[in-house]
Amino acid sequence: MLQKKFFIKDALSQGWEKTRKNLKVLLPMYLLFGIIYILPELLAEVTGPGVHVTLNLLLLPVYALMFLGLIKVSLDLLSGGEARVSDLFSQKRLILRYLIASIIFAAATTAGFFLFILPGVYLAIRFGFFGHFIIDEECGTIESLKNSWKITGGSELNLLLLGLLASVLNFLGALAFLIGLLITSPLTMNALAFAYYKLKGGPDEFPGEEEVEEGVGVYDDFELPG
């Protein structure tokens, strides 16, 4: 079976283009997500750690709902669709399966991190697209994890490098008084959606994607056994 690949530079380029063109919609979405996400941290300064933990647990379904909405938006934008703020709360029926898959994902990667860290990183890469499959194909809990494992085989190094670059971008965004995260977060989410579609066997060229001259970049053709 022919292994699908993606170019990191194309993922980041498309991530930026989709973010730039849809910034008016993406900004309020990510701002709202950020406010709700840090709300327990802000309240902890006043109420203490007990309320912080309780509130985080109570908000887990809300976090899941909003994160599923952000994944949906990134997938829609990459496939030529439009983003709407209402999409942020549009995936209520998928919350339970996403939460269960997240628990399995967290358990597997945590166990891997205890085994000298690298196994945890590897598992995080291989299972990392389970949320995309839940949104894109409405896969079940186990099926989403299995499908993510299938498409990421052979692209571990590229995905690791993309993840590291995304982390650096978001770190720099956080340094800018967190305001920069309103740009870097959608950029990296869109870049990951691009990688997902490419590894899944999506179109050779996405709507609005400029043709680029094919060439061999650093690590572009580096493959690991699946």
DSSP structure string for 16-42: HHHHHHTHHHHHHHHHHHHHHHHHHHH
Write down the pLDDT at residue 186: 98
Write down the pLDDT at residue 177: 80
Report the C-alpha gap between 98 and 200 in whole angstroms.
20
Report the C-alpha gap between 177 and 183 in whole angstroms.
12
For residue 128, the SS3 value is coil
Write down the pLDDT at residue 204: 63
Q: How many C-beta neighbours within 10 Å does residue 83 have?
A: 22
Tens of pLDDT along the chain (226 residues)? Answer: 455 789 999 999 999 999 999 999 999 999 999 999 888 887 777 776 677 788 888 999 999 999 999 999 999 999 999 999 999 999 999 999 999 999 999 999 999 999 888 999 999 999 999 999 999 999 999 999 999 999 999 999 999 999 999 999 999 999 988 899 999 999 999 999 999 999 998 766 666 665 433 433 334 444 444 4
Judge residue 82's burial from the number of C-beta atoms within 10 Å of its C-beta, 0-12 exposed, 13-18 middle, 19 or more buried. Answer: exposed
Read off the pTM: 0.88
Instruction: Look up tokens 């994890």; give the residue.
Output: 145
Write down the pLDDT at residue 215: 38
In contact, 98 and 158? CB cutoff 8 Å: no
Judge residue 195's burial from the number of C-beta atoms within 10 Å of its C-beta, 0-12 exposed, 13-18 middle, 19 or more buried. Answer: buried
Report the C-alpha gap between 114 and 99 in whole angstroms.
22
Q: Which two tokens stand for residue 86?
A: 């209402």
Write down the pLDDT at residue 220: 47
The C-alpha angle with vertex 41 and arms to 93 and 101, in degrees rounded to 5, equals: 30
Q: What share of the chain is helix, strand, coil (3-state, %, to 5)?
A: 75, 0, 25
Write down the pLDDT at residue 3: 59
